């Protein structure tokens, strides 16, 4: 488990992480989202002891990272795929990590095999493509068979098969009861991978909720009801505090309520339904609504 309590990091007058408090529990893939400059990488660095917080705490299994003995056995992380020494082979890099953390060197071959790099283990890290560097970084994270795993943009540079492999890996690790924390800008992929989402903007927490709940909050997520009594249903829903609009002679669109609530209210009012379904927003749409006031580096022009 990762626990953050009032975590804050300032660089001079700029606050990169602002009073962040949350708990990341085992058995789930937690997606970490936010615009560029939101503080995601800084937060991960604080958890791993690479930066010192200005205030608050970041704990892994109840203790700060610097107090963990043989840390790779507790937490594995991929923050920078280009971190290994460029002149060292992938196998040599992993062997050095294993020996310094009391991990049997046989694990090196096991993790190289598991990430599909057994045939490229002798190649220098500096000669690897970005996608292969990502695989080597994932192998390093898995080396100590840790209970907590952190990945910053792990699918950058991977081909579609590699992206699908990472997705399956994240979900299988969570299914084993591990804590999996993944930062990404790829909303479509995060929607397929994450169980829970943490969204930050300008260093502050915006959302900490299950994926379905975050999407369900979007104004673009709606319940569509077909009924010969559309006017009556719209009025009944509005009386219950639900935004509802009659959009056709026999159709009502309701937002801000789950489909079960709409169906129950229709039943209680004796209104016959001919159809009831949810029109779900995408994670990208929900994310854009959440972060529209937190973008620091927005572009202008036709592509914006």
- Please state the pTM of the whole predicted model: 0.83
How much is the pLDDT for 109? 95
Instruction: Encode pLDDT of 58-107 as tens digits.
Output: 999 999 999 998 899 999 999 999 899 999 999 999 999 999 999 999 99
How much is the pLDDT for 304? 45
54 within 8 A of 8, measured Cβ to Cβ: yes
* Residue ranges in the chain modelled with pLDDT below 50: 304
Q: How far apart are CA 261 and CA 269, in angstroms?
A: 12
How much is the pLDDT for 296? 62
- CA 67 to chain CA centroid, Å, is 26
Which residues have a Cβ under 8 Å from the Cβ of 24 and sit 6 or more positions away?
A: 1, 2, 3, 30, 179, 181, 196, 198
How much is the pLDDT for 220? 82
How much is the pLDDT for 70? 85
**Sheet with 196-201, side-by-side order of all strands:** 75-78, 148-152, 179-183, 28-33, 196-201, 204-210
* Domains present along the chain, CATH in parentheses: 2-211 (3.40.50.300), 222-279 (3.30.70)
């Amino acid at each position: 488990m990762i626990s953050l309590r009032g975590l804050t990091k300032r660089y001079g007058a700029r606050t990169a992480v602002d009073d962040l408090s949350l708990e990341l529990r085992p058995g789930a893939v937690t997606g970490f989202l936010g615009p560029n400059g939101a503080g995601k990488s800084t937060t991960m660095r604080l958890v791993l002891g690479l930066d010192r917080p200005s205030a608050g705490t970041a704990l892994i299994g109840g203790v700060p990272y610097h107090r963990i003995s043989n840390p790779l056995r507790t937490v594995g992380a991929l923050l920078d795929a280009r971190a290994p020494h460029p002149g060292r082979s992938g196998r040599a890099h992993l062997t050095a990590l294993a020996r310094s953390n009391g991990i049997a060197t046989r694990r090196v071959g096991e993790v190289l095999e598991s990430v599909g790099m057994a045939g490229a283990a002798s190649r220098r890290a500096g000669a690897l493509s970005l996608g292969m560097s990502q695989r080597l970084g994932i192998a390093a994270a898995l080396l100590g068979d840790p209970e907590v795993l952190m990945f910053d943009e792990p699918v950058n540079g991977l081909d579609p098969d590699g992206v699908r492999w990472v997705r399956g890996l994240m979900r299988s690790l969570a299914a084993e009861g591990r804590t999996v924390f993944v930062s990404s800008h790829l909303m479509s992929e995060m929607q397929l991978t994450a169980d829970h989402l943490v969204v930050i903007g300008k260093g502050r927490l915006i959302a900490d909720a299950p994926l379905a709940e975050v999407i369900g909050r979007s104004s673009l997520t709606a319940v569509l009801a077909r009924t010969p009594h559309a006017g009556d249903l719209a009025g009944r829903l509005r009386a219950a505090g639900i935004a509802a609009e009659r959009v056709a002679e026999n159709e009502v669109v309701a937002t801000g309520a789950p489909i079960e609530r709409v169906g129950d209210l229709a039943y209680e009012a004796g209104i016959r339904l001919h159809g009831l379904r949810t029109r779900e927003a995408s994670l990208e749409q929900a994310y854009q609504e959440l972060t529209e006031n937190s973008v620091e580096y927005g572009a202008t022009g036709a592509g914006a």
